[in-house]
Structure 1
Amino acid sequence: MTLPPLSIQDLAPISQGYSTQDALARTLDLARLGDEMGFSRLWYAEHHGMASIASSAPEILIANAAANTSRIRVGAGGVMLPNHVPLRVVETYRTLNGLFPDRIDLGIGRAGGSDGLTLRALRSTGGEDFPHEFAELLAFERGGFPDDHPLSRVKVVPGEIDLAPIWLLGSSGASAQMAGQYGIGYAFASHFSPTPAGPAFEAYRSAFRPSDQFEKPHAILCVAVICAPTDEEAKHLSKSMELTWLSLRSNNPQKIAPPEAADAHPWTEAERAFVESQSNLWIVGSPETVKAKIEEKLAETAADEVMISTTIHDYDKRLESYRLLKQVWG
C-alpha cells in the first residue's frame, strides 16, 4: 500500500501544571516540528468555553504558525461558520492567503463547537441555517449573487487575492455530498465520531464536481493517535484522554490531567463503560502498532491524506508521538 501524506490537527491543549500562555507558546514547537519533518499541513480547530483547549481564535494561531515556518500549509480545521458572518470569514482568509501565498487552508464546520450558553454569547446561529450561510460565503468569493441581490454590490476586500482553498468538515457524512457538489475538499472527523468514514468518502467522491480550487476530490481522514516507543507507554499516556472525555461528558471541562490522575480517580461502572466506548476511537501504541491500525482505516476509506490529532499531558511526549509516527510512516 502506498501511504498517503500525514498532517497535523492542533487543539492547543492546556495541561494541568501549565498556563494557557504556556500552551499557546508550545503550539509553535509542534508547528516547527511539522514543518521540519515533512507533514503536509497543520490545522487549528475552533472551540470555545473549554478549559482544556486554547484554540478559540484559529486565524491568530494560523498567522503565528505560518510566520514561524517556511513550508507546511497552515489552516483552520475548522472555522465554525454558524459563529461568524460569512463576509468576515472571506476577508480574514483572503488576508491570510495574501500574507502567506499558497500556504493557507480554510476548513469550515457546521457546528458551533461549544455549549449552548457560550454559543448564545457568540450570537451563533447554531448550524440550523448552515447551507444558506455556506452558500453566502461562496457567493462572496465566486461572485454568485444574482444581479438584483442587495449583497451583489458589496465590495470584498482585500481584492485581487483569492480565498484560501475551502474544505468542508464532517463527522456523520451529512456534509460529504455538499462538499462534492461544490467541488471543495472534505475532511472526516474520525478522531471523535464513531460513524464509519467509508460511506461518507464514497458519497463525497460520487458527488464531486471539479472546481478551480480542486480538479479532483481530496478526502482527509482525521484520527486520534497516541504513539510512544512501546505499546505499554502509549497506553499509560492515553489515560489522560480518559479523564478529558469524562469531564466533557459531565459538561465540566478541565485542563488535561496527567495519566496518574486517572489511576487515582474513583471510577464508577458507568464512567468506565463510557470511557471504554470512547477509547475505541483512539489509535494507541508503538509506531508499528499505530501504523498498522491506520492502514486498516485506509483500507476502508482510501483516504487521500491522514490528519493526526494527539492529546497528551506532557508536551514533549506529544511532540515525540508525532515524531515517532512520521519516522515509521516514511
Structure 2
Amino acid sequence: MTAVTKRFGQFTAVDNLSLDVPEGQIIGFLGPNGAGKSTSLRMGLGIMEPDSGSVELFGRAPNVQSLRRVGFLPEERGLYKKMTARDTISHFARLKGLSASDARARADELLEATELGEFSRSRISKLSKGMAQKVQILSTLAHRPDFLILDEPFSGLDPVNQQALENLIRAEHDRGATILFSTHVMEHAERLCDRIVMMARGRKVLDGTLKEAFASLGQGARISVEHGFDLAAALSPKGFEAIRTADVGHGETWRIELPPGREAQDALRAALEAGAPITGFAPEEARLRDVFVSLVGEADAAALEASLAEDGVA
C-alpha cells in the first residue's frame, strides 16, 4: 500500500501509511490497540477502501483470485458454534478452492499436528476458548496460503498456546509463506520477525529490521573496574562515553553509551586495549518495547501499557 489514509468522520485512523511486504519474510506490525493496525490490514485486503492512496495485492488491486492466495485471521473471532472442529476447518478450506476430500484430509492433518485430533468431532461450542481460537487459526492456513495475515493472533492465548502458535508460524514460513502479523506484545516479534513496522496514532513511526530498530535506541553496556581507574578518560579517545554509576565493593561500575553501529563487545574490547582492570561486564539488553517508548510520546507509551494490561501481559 502507498500513502493510504483512512478517516472516520473527524478521526484519522490511518495517516499516510506506506507499507511493502517482501515475499518470504515474517513482518511484525506493532503498536498499541487503536494505533490503526486492523484498519490498515483491512485496506490491504480490499475489505475497506482508503480515502486516499493506493493498495496492491500481488501486484494488482485486491480481487477474488488474489484473495484465494491469502489466509486472513481477523481480530474479531467468529466460528459456527454448532459445527465440529473438523468441519469448520474443511469448510474454510473449501471456500479457498480445495476439494471436499482434500479439505477433510487437510483438516485431519492440522488437528493431529496441533494435538486437537481427539476433538475433531467436537462442536465449537464445546471447546475451550483457546481450542476454538486454534481451530480458527488452522482454518486460516488450511489452504496453504502464499500470504498469511494474522491480526492479533496471540490475543487470549495462554503461554503454552502462544508458544505453539509461534511454532506454527515458523512452520508456515519454512513452507514458503510470507507472513504479516499485528500485535501489541512485542516479544513475539522479537522472536519471530525479519522486519518490524511500528504504528502510533495511525502513523508509521518505524520500518526496518530488528537490528535497525535497536540501533535507533541508545544502547549501552556496564563495565565494572577496580577502584580508582578512570574508565571515561580511557574510553573517550576510542569514541565511547562512560558515566560512573555506582561503587561496587572495591571497584566502580560505569555505564557505556554505545554509538550507532557499535556493540557492547566493542566497548569491552576497547576497555581491555586501554588496560582497564575489569571486574565485571554486562551488555544492556534492548527490547522492542524500549524502542517504541523512545520513538513516541508518553501518551502512546501509556497506550501500549494499557493494551498489555487488557491482554493480561505483565
Q: TM-score range by the shorter chain?
A: 0.3 to 0.5
Q: TM-score, normalised by structure 2?
A: 0.34
1 or 2, which has the higher helix percentage? Answer: 1
1 or 2, which has the higher strand percentage? Answer: 2
Mark the structure with the bigger radius of gyration: 2
Q: TM-score, normalised by structure 1?
A: 0.32
